Structure 1
């Protein structure tokens, strides 16, 4: 895959690739997501109403209570989880959330992932090696 390659630290090993969904705001688990639908429901969040199911979720950090991990575990049990996570700043709640969600996850990257990756970019997370390869999406006016 050509494009940008970010290097970071493994949280949950594994390899996955897919479309990125980027949040520039921290994500709340309890009260911030609907785990049965895989949708962000925090009213003032930039991604309010957006589904993260089947996407690689890129976000700066987790916010809220220790219930964060339980809500993300419910996404796994409901089949609505993201397929991978790229977390700017890890915390105990987001680390535990990644572990119970059981998706490849990388953190502590050499560049801000929320700036280096855009929603719609194709991303390959090789969490075992701590790399995130980004294929930038084509703009509407770029040649194929």
Structure 2
């Protein structure tokens, strides 16, 4: 089964799916040095996102999110990809900055809510440069 996404930043990647139950802020609720979710009110507090494909409906945004995600990408503690139902231009900017400055990437993609529901149940996911999503 192949599903479709709109790539906002990055390109092809794959990784284990980490479906988040609630939106996550990448500024203050996430430690870019370790990749661990810090927000004590978040259901996945303590989970490490490094190398995973995060699947969540949306982020809790901040204008500082681009810096946090770029720093995590630089330190190699970022997720391999973040898939959202509601696009987040801040994360895309941070990922593009990291790609330009450090030559490292984190794919940011957007899907409709029906596809997001399917992805939440996948164990691993492959993302192609054209946005094709394949649960593996």
TM-score (norm 2): 0.84
Write out aligned runs for 1:62-73 (5 A). 62-73=59-70
**CA–CA distance in structure 1, aligned partners of residues 65 and 16 of structure 2:** 23
Q: 1:45 to 1:134 in 2, by over 3 A?
A: same
Root-mean-square deviation (CA, aligned residues, Å) is 1.9
1:130 aligns to what? 131
Compare the two structures and name the one with the higher helix fraction. 2
Aligned residues: 130
**CA–CA distance in structure 2, aligned partners of residues 37 and 98 of structure 1:** 17
**CA–CA distance in structure 1, aligned partners of residues 54 and 88 of structure 2:** 16
1:104 aligns to what? 107
User: Which blocks of at least 5 consecutive residues in structure 2 are unaligned?
Assistant: 99-104
2:123 aligns to what? 121
Q: 1:131 to 1:120 in 2, by over 3 A?
A: closer
> Which of these two proteins has the greater Rg computed from alpha carbons?
1
2:34 aligns to what? 37
Per the TM alignment, residue 110 of structure 1 is displaced from its structure 2 partner at its CA by: 6.5
Runs of 4+ in 1 over 4 A off after TM superposition: none
1:81 aligns to what? 78
Per the TM alignment, residue 57 of structure 1 is displaced from its structure 2 partner at its CA by: 1.4
Spell out, residue by residue over 1:74-112, the C-alpha distance to the aligned partner (whole angstroms, 9 max, x if none): 101212011122122103223323333522232133724
CA contact (8 A) 2:12 2:107 kept: yes
User: Which blocks of at least 5 consecutive residues in structure 1 are unaligned?
Assistant: 136-144
Q: Aligned to 2:40, what secondary structure does the other structure show?
A: coil
CA contact (8 A) 1:8 1:110 kept: no
